[in-house]
Amino acid sequence: MQLTKNIKRQIRELPGLLYQKELNAELTKLDAHFGQWRQGSLSPFDLVEHIHEFHQKPARELYSRFSFLNLAQKQTMKSTIFLLFLILLLTNCSQDNKPADTQTTDGYELVWSDEFEQPGLPDSTKWNYDAGGHGWGNRELQFYTHRRRENARVEGGKLIIEARKEQWDTSNYTSAKLVSRGNQSWLYGKFEVSAKLPKGRGTWPAVWMMPEKDTHGGWPASGEIDIMEHVGFNPGVVHGSVHTEAYNHVIGTNKSDTLVVPGAMDAFHVYAVEWSADSLFFLIDGERYHSFANEHKTYKEWPYDHPFYLILNIAVGGNWGGQKGIDDSIWPQKMEVDYVRVYQKK
């Protein structure tokens, strides 16, 4: 649930607090209670009682382990966490008890999301895999595996895509490429991915979209939307691009722009695109840095009139990612994803 995910994030950020496994377990229990409350099977009074139990018992036992804190610091920490729960609870109640799947932002309504709360393999009702090691048209060096935890898993409330240096089939590296194809695709909307990127020469992480069907023909005729690309030899420079028959990198006409994000490999940032019938706007942390307009000519300029699906992956090397070689001392490398959210106009 997004409510308790925000609580977890704020607790993790409290100064001096070690985020223990026991605390995560208690927060997971509270997550279930919030879910019951949203479904109407738990009264607000019972929910407050569960919060009170967390404050009185599990939290107190955990705080006693922080011997490096004095009594006043422990009491401040306890009070802060309890107030976080109460404030967020009251805030949620004031929003007409609106369920999570109708969350709104800027005139959009949430229609699909993955908050990565269930540990294990990625949710198969939301994600499929592209697998193989044939270079993927870019001379990439990784083998994308299928349902292998070492390369794709959910842990600690985040999706982990991990690229590793290891022999697999005829490749010397493994990674994962998750796709929503076959489960969900969309025509227009706002697409947000909160992610922390891998670092090092040879990494090539991407958040992007491809057409569910080749309505106008094979690549690039039916379009491509690159919400985020980052190559490790140029740290912190994030790219947003489109590829169409008229505008693509093969013929040197692709439409793209960049934004420097100094903490892209050390902190989470929200990479987004707003897609309508008339335009594509690319954003990072809410800042718009690139746009592409519908010229209202032919599909060659604007093929974005049919559903696209989401893709999350880390490539290794390749025509672009490997331009400056590969640093074999950096592996494994991870892209961590806090959430993926899709909104559409109300």
DSSP string over 63-131: HTT-TTS-HHHHHHHHHHHHHHHHHHHHHHHTTTT--GGG-EETTEEEEEEE---S-BSPPTTT-EE--
* Three-state secondary structure call for residue 47: helix
Reported as a single tens digit per residue, the pLDDT across 187-232 is: 999 999 999 999 999 999 999 999 999 999 999 999 999 999 999 9
* 229 carries an active-site annotation: yes
Check residues 25 and 159 and name the one with the higher pLDDT. 159
Query: Catalytic one among 115, 229, 245, 274?
Result: 229
> What is the separation of C-alpha 170 from the centre of its chain, rounded to a whole number of angstroms?
30
Res 99 pLDDT > 80:
no
- Closest among 254, 179, 164, 251 to 210, alpha carbons compared: 179
229 neighbors 205 (Cβ within 8 angstroms): yes
Of 162, 212, 224, 245, the catalytic one is 224
Nearest-CA neighbor of 247 among 193, 175, 303? 303
Q: Are strands 177-179 and 189-196 parallel, antiparallel or unpaired?
A: unpaired
- Over pLDDT 70: what percentage of the chain? 70
Q: What are 335's strand-pairing partners?
A: 161
Written as one letter, the residue type at 90 is L
Of the pLDDT bands very low, low, confident and very high (cuts 50, 70, 90), residue 167 is very high
pLDDT, residue 330, reads 98
Active site residue 224: yes
How confident is the model over 244-249, as a mean pLDDT? 97
In this predicted structure, which of 75-89, 160-174, 298-312 has the lowest mean pLDDT?
75-89
Q: Which CATH architecture has domain 108-345?
A: Sandwich (2.60)
Give the DSSP H/E element, type plus range, for residue 5: helix 2-12
Question: Is residue 332 within 8 Å of residue 166, measured between CB atoms?
Answer: no
In 3D space, the residue among 161, 191, 207, 146 whose CA is nearest the CA of residue 307 turns out to be 191
* Single-letter amino acid, residue 238: V
**Residues 12, 17, 18: CA angle, nearest 5 degrees:** 85
